[in-house]
Amino acid sequence: MTDGVNIRELALNVLLAVEKEEAFSHTALSSVRKEYAHLSKQERSFLTRLVEGVLERQIEMDYIIGLFSNVGIRKMKPAIRCILRMGVYQLKYMDATPSFAACNEAVRLAQKKGFRNLKPFVNGVLRKISGSLDAIAYPKEKEAPLLAWSVRYSIPEWMLAQWSRDYGMEKAKSIAEAFTRERRLCIRVNKSRVSAEALQRMLEQRGFAAERALLDGEPAFDYALYLSGCDALDKIPEFSKGYFTVQDVCSMLVVHLAAPRPGDYVIDVCSAPGGKSLHAAEWMRGTGLVEARDITPYKTGLIEENIRRMELCNIRAVVWDARVLDEHAIAKADLVIADLPCSGLGTMKKKPDIRFRMTEEKEKSLVLLQREILRVVRQYVKPGGRLVFSTCTMDRMENEENAAWFQDEHPQFSLVAQRQFFPDEGEYDGFYIAVFQYRKEQE
């Protein structure tokens, strides 16, 4: 505790913002970390792990609580529910936290949040769980595999059923397990400013562990590093100077596979916060133009902030709704990047609350939204140009099926490459990329 700041209370506030106000966990957590920038590295680490861990393991936490509580988890006050989840997570997954501390702090939080009368309930449930953790009976995989995996890996059953239909039962289990593994931060080197080798040395001299991120079958993929020991990017001079940006390996592959040429005109139709647009601008070494579009001034503001930090001159941010045709851009673009709104299930490691926001019905509506956008933005591609369609998910309906629909609907576009990445295959998100070439003959 620093200057009277209760780290567990900060974590509870973030979890309540996610649960009651439908805030996104990564933005709510980032906001708290900025407000309490004076926290020590250890305190920031504790806060982050507790918030992300509770959300990542929420189904398992609720299952355990349900075994020892005579009140259903959904009938509890949101604050009590979150306090119990935090307590169970500390008991089960944070070995450095003594059991008595997890229980006592939970009781204090209940009182501080105005639930003095529920202190005995919170204390009783957590102490029973503390004494029985090693004896908890989980659902049996042989009898009900989807339920067993749902509890063990905290993935909703409908997602596991979908992955099982698309990729088979064992692959579904492997994907789910992958979201519980620790992952390092992945960064992309701004090669227009510094080499990967030089940046690696700089970061290692600052005490970070930096390792080259390699990709099978892509020997020219030489600008990614895995970074460990970093919890505050804005305190790293090389980040502030624009020497690197945070980006997943698979996201980097969008521009890598599209390979824009010097002088190209590139339109990124759903760009914020701008990772792929920035990468394309760097790739073209200051030539041509990248137009990084998104739907609101807030989103384009994020892009502009990154443009300034990276000191790039051949890129501009533009407020534009991708569903609305820009007649001035018809047949003008050498490359259109369409990283479209999707279920985002491939990013659950970084955004664990996505698993509770998404539904099958929402997925179906996103499929239609992707098609609506693709119908519009394909018109920007000039004959001989390319369109790259990508998502950060692992749903065939959003990915391969939409790519097949697009090719059937617009046969002048040829599918030249597609790949589905899975989080159990490497230290990266679930991600899909399809590259289309517009044949030179006119429609």
pLDDT given for residue 443 in this prediction: 45
Residue 345 forms part of a structural domain:
yes
CATH of the domain at 267: 3.40.50.150
Of the residues 82, 250, 342, 392, which is catalytic?
A: 392
Which domain, by its residues, includes 190? 182-246
- The yes-or-no verdict on residue 25 having pLDDT over 60 is yes
Question: pLDDT tens across 92-111, in order?
Answer: 999 888 999 999 999 999 99
Residue 308's pLDDT band (cuts 50, 70, 90): very high
Q: Are residues 202 and 54 in the same domain?
A: no
Residue 141 forms part of a structural domain:
no
- The yes-or-no verdict on residue 239 having pLDDT over 90 is yes
Q: Are residues 292 and 320 in the same domain?
A: yes
Instruction: Read off the pLDDT of each residue in 182-207 and give the average, rounded to a whole number.
Output: 94
Ordered DSSP codes for 162-181: HHHHHH-HHHHHHHHHHTTS
- Amino acid at site 25: S
| Residue percentage of the chain with pLDDT more than 90 | 89
Domain boundary residue, one of 246, 279, 294: 246
pLDDT given for residue 218 in this prediction: 79
Residue 331 forms part of a structural domain:
yes
**Entry pTM:** 0.93
Instruction: Read off the pLDDT of each residue in 348-377 and give the average, rounded to a whole number.
Output: 96
Q: Are residues 263 and 401 in the same domain?
A: yes
CATH of the domain at 219: 3.30.70.1170
Cis peptide before 411 (omega within 30 of 0): no
Q: Are residues 170 and 221 in the same domain?
A: no
pLDDT given for residue 4 in this prediction: 66
State yes or no: is 392 an active-site residue. yes
Instruction: Read off the pLDDT of each residue in 305-317 and give the average, rounded to a whole number.
Output: 95
- The yes-or-no verdict on residue 229 having pLDDT over 90 is no
CATH of the domain at 83: 1.10.940.10
266 phi and psi angles, rounded to 5 deg: -115, 135
Domain boundary residue, one of 221, 246, 271: 246
Higher-confidence residue of 215 and 146: namely 146
User: If you average pLDDT over every residue of the chain, what do you get?
Assistant: 94
Q: Are residues 211 and 334 in the same domain?
A: no
Q: Are residues 199 and 285 in the same domain?
A: no
Alpha-carbon span 370 to 405, nearest angstrom? 11
Question: pLDDT tens across 28-87, in order?
Answer: 999 999 899 889 989 999 999 999 999 999 999 999 999 999 999 999 999 999 999 999
Question: What are the CA-CA distances from residue 172 to residues 149, 151, 415 (Å)?
Answer: 9, 14, 27
Question: pLDDT tens across 2-21, in order?
Answer: 556 899 999 999 999 999 99
Question: pLDDT tens across 249-294, in order?
Answer: 999 999 999 999 999 999 999 999 999 999 999 999 999 999 999 9
Q: Are residues 66 and 174 in the same domain?
A: no
Question: pLDDT tens across 383-398, in order?
Answer: 999 999 999 999 999 9
* Domains contained in the chain, number: 4
Alpha-carbon span 305 to 247, nearest angstrom? 16
Residue 282 forms part of a structural domain:
yes
| Residue percentage of the chain with pLDDT more than 70 | 98
Go through 350-367 and write b for each residue having 16 or more CB atoms within 10 A of its CB, e for each that does not. bbbbbbbebeeeebeebb
Residue 142's pLDDT band (cuts 50, 70, 90): very high
Q: Are residues 287 and 406 in the same domain?
A: yes
Residue 66 forms part of a structural domain:
yes
Alpha-carbon span 185 to 350, nearest angstrom? 10
Q: Are residues 90 and 156 in the same domain?
A: no
Question: pLDDT tens across 391-421, in order?
Answer: 999 999 999 999 999 999 999 999 999 999 9
Domain boundary residue, one of 228, 246, 264: 246
Residue 201 forms part of a structural domain:
yes
Q: Are residues 165 and 194 in the same domain?
A: no
Residue 2 forms part of a structural domain:
no
Residue 1 forms part of a structural domain:
no
Q: Are residues 406 and 352 in the same domain?
A: yes
Residues 6+ apart with CB under 8 A from 385: 333, 334, 335, 336, 437, 438
Q: Are residues 154 and 187 in the same domain?
A: no
